Structure 1
Amino acid sequence: MIVLKVGGNVINNPATLHEGLDYFSGLLEPAVLVHGGGRRASQVITEMGREPVMVDGRRVTDRATLEIVTMVYAGLLNKDLVAQLQSRGTNAIGLSGADGNAVLAEKRPVGAIDYGFAGDVTAVNASLLDALLRLGLRPVICPITHDRRGQLLNTNADTIANETATALARLEHPVNLQYCFELPGVLTDVNDPGSVIPVLTPETYAEYRSSGKIAGGMVPKLDNAFAALRAGVREVAIGNIAALRAGGGTRIRLA
């Protein structure tokens, strides 16, 4: 199985998005799509007269912001992606975390920063996803989860992708996790597309982090990648569609 996560920069670029959906539709393996869309959400928040608040790449989600991101993620973006996949002959089904208890979460505890209605994943309903895949459907999961007590939560899409891949691996499926974004891979120099790191291990990752060559939003993405491998996911790759299609990008390995 393949779990493909596409980020907001891919979704916001029509040409890149079409390329990504073509790739997903052409996969021969059972596949799950997890999508973000933070840039589109920030645009709508601004258009509605509010100011998006981000801390270390994470959105601070007050009640009004939660309503907006739910509309954008679970409504506009999710259903648009499903419709575009249907036009390619891929029988997709859109899901929020609340649908079929697909993704359960708990509200993040208040620490140094109060992230509001941000959710930390507690469980993924792998049996539901497995059943949908066996029916020939391809789940498309947005980053809105719930806590089983009636509260929706805004949850990081990279984390949902990691937890989804891990949950499916526990059902003894060989699972590959792919993070698709706008760059050809993890770079040592963000201004040089040719500086792709072909393979990252825990040791080399620590070295690149200590030197500052890997920083910012790439850190939680890679932390998720290594966590997925330790939990039984077979392979993790990071790159743009061209790189993933060619078997390139950055491959994450434990050794």
Structure 2
Amino acid sequence: MKTPLHVFKIGGHVLDDETSLQQFAAAFARVAGPKILVHGGGKGASELLHNLGIAPQMVQGRRITDAATLDVVTMFYAGKTNKQLVALLQASSVPALGLSGADGNAIRASRRPVREVDYGFVGDLAAGSINTDLLRGLLNMNLVPVLCAITHDGAGQLLNTNADTIASAIAQAMAGSYAVTLHFCFEKDGVLADANDEQSVIRRITPDEYAQLKADGVVSAGMVPKLDNAFAALTAGVEAAVIENALKINEPIKTVLCRS
């Protein structure tokens, strides 16, 4: 029987508010067994870009990353956000180790080809992108890897990569060795049937139901990458995938995604 492994991704307002981040760290500390945490950058990166006179550009929930934006998001994601999060986890007695994709060759990506949109220095992941030997080694040392959304191409170029995609890729890569549950955590209790009703959590979604929700416009923008990546992970052998509130990960209210 495979050992359970929990792969968490956090982002959104949770990263923007230190009190919420402290509450998440305390809840995360109560999750037993091996675990990995992936984080994005929250709104702080966009605010810093604005302050520096750089206009953030987003297409379908994904950031366009020119050279100046890459410098800023690298500083913010791999620096301030990662280390602040690691410090808060340490304060909750979680033996966290902060990493970018370049550290230990943890995550190697390739620059996204220019098609309808030029995303700039954005990285795409492929089979073999995740250094599973490194992650298994850290987990065997009872460390908790905390990975930001900065990857590298193996030739010296850093790349901005969607954190939802990273979490899904890690879950899939580790599924050969562990019984993996993938958690996408943000400020809501799950996927909402009505964006204006916090109580309208959809408790269970199948691929067919997801297609209908997208067609109806119930899910859009930033929620689409989460759900796309979660369903891809289920198809690739991940045991379970959930969308939940980062402050309520130990509670039963959440959206569970199903293979059929």
TM-score, with structure 2 as normaliser:
0.95
Paired residue for 1:144?
150
Partner Cα separation in structure 2 for residue 53 and residue 204 of structure 1: 30
Question: Residue type of the partner of 1:149?
Answer: A
Q: Secondary structure at the match of 1:178?
A: strand
Matching residue of 1:211: 216
Correspondence for 1:17 among 5, 18, 21: 21
Within-5 A mapping of 1:167-246? 167-171=173-177, 173-246=178-251
Query: One-letter code of the match for 1:125?
Result: N
Superposed structure 1 runs of 4+ greater than 6 Å apart: none
C-alpha displacement at 1:238, in angstroms? Answer: 0.4
1:99 aligns to 2:71 (yes or no): no
Aligned residues: CA RMSD: 1.1
Paired amino acid for 2:139: L
After the TM superposition, which residues 111-150 of structure 1 pair with which residues of structure 2 at under 5 Å, given as runs?
Answer: 111-122=115-126, 123-150=129-156
What is the rounded CA distance, in whole Å, between the counterparts of 1:55 and 1:38 in structure 2?
A: 16
Which residue number in structure 1 is paired with residue 168 of structure 2? 162
Gaps of 5+ in 2: none
Quickly say closer, same or farther: Cα 1:128–1:85, change in 2 above 3 A: same
Amino acid corresponding to residue 231 of structure 1 in structure 2: A
Deviation at 1:242, TM superposition (A): 4.7
Please list every run of 5 or more consecutive structure 1 residues that lacks an aligned counterpart in the other structure.
none
Between the aligned partners of 1:239 and 1:128, the Cα distance in structure 2 is 28
Kept in 1, the 8 Å contact 2:99–2:147? The answer is: yes
In the alignment, is the contact (CA less than 8 A) between 1:238 and 1:244 conserved in 2? no
How many residue pairs align between the two structures? 254
Query: What letter corresponds to residue 224 of structure 1 in structure 2?
Result: N
Structure 2 Cα separation of the partners of residues 215 and 64 of structure 1: 28
TM-score by length of 1: 0.96
Structure number having the greater helix percentage: 1
| Higher mean C-alpha deviation, range 38-47 or range 175-184 | 38-47
Bigger relative CO (Cα 8 Å, ≥ 6 apart): 2
Greater shift, 6-15 or 222-231, is seen at: 6-15
